[in-house]
Homo-oligomer: A and B are copies of this chain.
Amino acid sequence: MMKVIVNVFLKAGVLDSQGKAVHHALESLHFDNVSDVRVGKQIVLKLDESDEVKAMADVTKMCEELLANTVIEDYNIELVK
For residue A76, give the distance in angstroms from its CB to the closest CB of chain B: 10
A31 to chain B, nearest CB (A): 6
**Complexed CA–CA distance, A25 and B43 (Å):** 14
Decide yes or no whether A22 CB sits under 8 A from chain B.
Answer: yes
CB distance from A42 to the nearest CB of B (A): 4
Binding site for B on A (CB under 8 A): 1, 7, 9, 19, 22, 25-26, 29, 31, 33-49, 58, 61-62, 65-67
Q: List 11 A-B contacts (CB under 8 A).
A: A19-B43, A22-B67, A26-B62, A34-B47, A36-B44, A36-B45, A37-B43, A38-B43, A40-B43, A41-B41, A42-B42
